[in-house]
Amino acid sequence: MIKPKTEEEIELLRENAIIVSKTLAEVGKAVAPGVTTKELNRVAETFIRDNGAIPSFLGFEGFPAAICASVNDTVVHGFPSDYVLKEGDIVTADIGTLYKGYNGDSAYTFPVGEVDAKTRKLLDVTKASLYKGIEAAVAGARTGDIGYAVQSYVESFGFSVVRELEGHGIGREMHEQPGVPNFGRPGRGTHLVDGVVICIEPMVNAGSRAVYLARNGWAVRTSDHSNAAHYELTVVVRKGRAEQLSTFDFIEKDPTINF
Ligand code: MG
Ligand code: MG
């Protein structure tokens, strides 16, 4: 059983979640063919600091940047670099903040210009699987219910779920208990009670679920080099329906952002 957060803690987590959500939208505004992933990092870091927060990924276990920028077959933990985005790419921005002693953490995969039909489907299915997971994150459920909801949805489209990485609790630490796998069996795993705050973050491959760690020791890439998508939101487990702390509304209600 995981200890729930107090309502005061949840409000601080909400403040972080809003900053992260807005930062993702700032990154989304900058995504375009011809832009480097380093530039996305610069945009995000500037916005986070301008809002009085700290980019929590920078220096985390030695991570060298404010955001993870993972292109195409990189699932997660890509380093922002001089790579120039081109039409048809996808890029995941995964962003964390530290503000008033608490953490924020959310991610979104953006298309760069027009992407092919299979990639478009990968983005749509991965994001929808996140909402399936959120629907399952209710008081009385267990983490396996979330994992099952994500996995069964994703696999029904012929895509595959990465199993080596998972969602997590969040609070004063970026990664707290419980682990929230994106696969599993209903009725198994950690019990969820009202007030537990978790990040749900499906990582989905267009091809096989196999991944490998790149030589830099960070980037996780698909073994078959198929594209991978990753969406993450922070939610509070509640009775009946989870409460979202972070949101994609700043992205999806902005007509200038390609999503
Ligand atoms: Mg994240
Ligand atoms: Mg996370």
**How far does residue 183's CA lie from ligand 2's centre (Å)?**
16
Q: Provide the domain limits for residue 175.
A: 7-252
For 64, residues 6+ apart whose C-beta sits below 8 A from its C-beta are 58, 79
What are the backbone dihedrals phi and psi of residue 214, each rounded to the nearest 5 degrees, phi first?
A: -65, 165
**How far does residue 163's CA lie from ligand 2's centre (Å)?**
14
Question: Has residue 2 been placed in a domain?
Answer: no
**How far does residue 115's CA lie from ligand 2's centre (Å)?**
26
Question: Has residue 61 been placed in a domain?
Answer: yes
Question: Has residue 152 been placed in a domain?
Answer: yes
CATH code of the domain in which 205 resides: 3.90.230.10
Confidence of residue 94 (pLDDT cuts 50, 70, 90): very high
**How far does residue 218's CA lie from ligand 1's centre (Å)?**
14
**How far does residue 41's CA lie from ligand 2's centre (Å)?**
17
Q: Can you tell me the mean pLDDT for 20-26?
A: 98
Model confidence at 89: pLDDT above 90: yes
**How far does residue 174's CA lie from ligand 2's centre (Å)?**
7
- Distance, in Å, from the CA atom of 53 to the CA atom of 49, rounded to the nearest integer, reads 5
**How far does residue 160's CA lie from ligand 1's centre (Å)?**
19
With a threshold of 0.85, does the pTM exceed it? yes
Q: Partners of 161 in the beta sheet?
A: 204
- Which ligand is nearest to the Cα of residue 230, counting in written order? 1
**How far does residue 232's CA lie from ligand 2's centre (Å)?**
7
What are the pLDDT digits (tens) for 182-193? 999 999 999 999
Question: Has residue 258 been placed in a domain?
Answer: no
Question: Has residue 1 been placed in a domain?
Answer: no
Residue 101's Cβ-count burial label (10 Å; 0-12, 13-18, 19+) is exposed
Question: Has residue 153 been placed in a domain?
Answer: yes
pLDDT at 132: 98
- Distance, in Å, from the CA atom of 153 to the CA atom of 132, rounded to the nearest integer, reads 8
Question: Has residue 206 been placed in a domain?
Answer: yes
Question: Has residue 59 been placed in a domain?
Answer: yes
pLDDT at 172: 98
**How far does residue 97's CA lie from ligand 1's centre (Å)?**
10
- Which ligand is nearest to the Cα of residue 108, counting in written order? 1
Count of structural domains, the chain: 1
What are the pLDDT digits (tens) for 200-255? 999 999 999 999 999 999 999 999 999 999 999 999 999 999 999 999 999 999 99
- Distance, in Å, from the CA atom of 250 to the CA atom of 25, rounded to the nearest integer, reads 6
**How far does residue 234's CA lie from ligand 1's centre (Å)?**
9
Model confidence at 82: pLDDT above 90: yes
Model confidence at 1: pLDDT above 90: no
**How far does residue 231's CA lie from ligand 2's centre (Å)?**
9
- Distance, in Å, from the CA atom of 67 to the CA atom of 109, rounded to the nearest integer, reads 13
**How far does residue 121's CA lie from ligand 2's centre (Å)?**
23
**How far does residue 236's CA lie from ligand 2's centre (Å)?**
14
